[in-house]
């Protein structure tokens, strides 16, 4: 599979999912949370987290985390990555929230609760599609 094909598969996988699993590690240990997300581009994801939640507390302590974008079945294409989290504010936060609502309209009520907007930067995706022979998965690095 060419890099162009792997990139197209990654873009399609992101576009067809509204949520991902975010794994963090903080003072209270490892934690996995399901969150809604939108992609600003292939290597930049945005989401919102509860201000008082365990996930955000972990990211404040350790901004390096992992994600998986998956249906939960290894028979479907999935993406894995280590990410770096940045808490956004001001215009950047508003732009990210607008992008999130455009992709996942039913997230809008969450924006009226105590939340923070977070951007995840992906250095490299691990793209896997077992039924179509992409095993082991292929790495797709940001340029």
**3-state class (DSSP) for residue 36:** strand
Decide: 82 and 141 in contact? Cβ < 8 Å.
Answer: no
Spell out the domains of the chain, with CATH numbers in brackets: 3-141 (2.30.110.10)
Provide the 10 A C-beta neighbour count for residue 115: 19
Q: pLDDT digits over 51-85, tens only?
A: 999 999 999 999 999 999 999 998 999 999 999 99
pLDDT at 143 over 90: no
Q: Residue 71 is encoded by which pair of tokens?
A: 């249906």
Across 79-107, average pLDDT: 98
Decide: 119 and 86 in contact? Cβ < 8 Å.
Answer: yes
pTM of the model: 0.96
CA-based nearest residue to 83, from 115, 116, 57, 47: 47
């Amino acid at each position: 599979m060419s890099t162009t094909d792997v990139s197209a598969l990654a873009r399609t996988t992101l576009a067809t999912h509204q949520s991902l699993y975010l794994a963090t590690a903080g003072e209270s240990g490892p934690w996995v949370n399901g969150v809604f997300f939108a992609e600003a581009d292939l290597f930049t994801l945005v989401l919102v987290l509860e201000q008082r939640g365990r996930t955000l507390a972990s990211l404040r302590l350790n901004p390096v985390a992992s994600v998986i974008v998956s249906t939960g079945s290894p028979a479907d294409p999935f993406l894995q990555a280590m990410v770096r989290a940045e808490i956004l504010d001001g215009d950047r936060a508003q732009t990210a929230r607008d992008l999130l609502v455009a992709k996942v309209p039913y997230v809008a009520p969450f924006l009226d609760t105590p939340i923070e907007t977070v951007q995840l930067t992906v250095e490299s995706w691990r793209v896997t599609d077992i039924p179509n022979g992409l095993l082991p998965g292929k790495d797709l690095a940001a340029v």
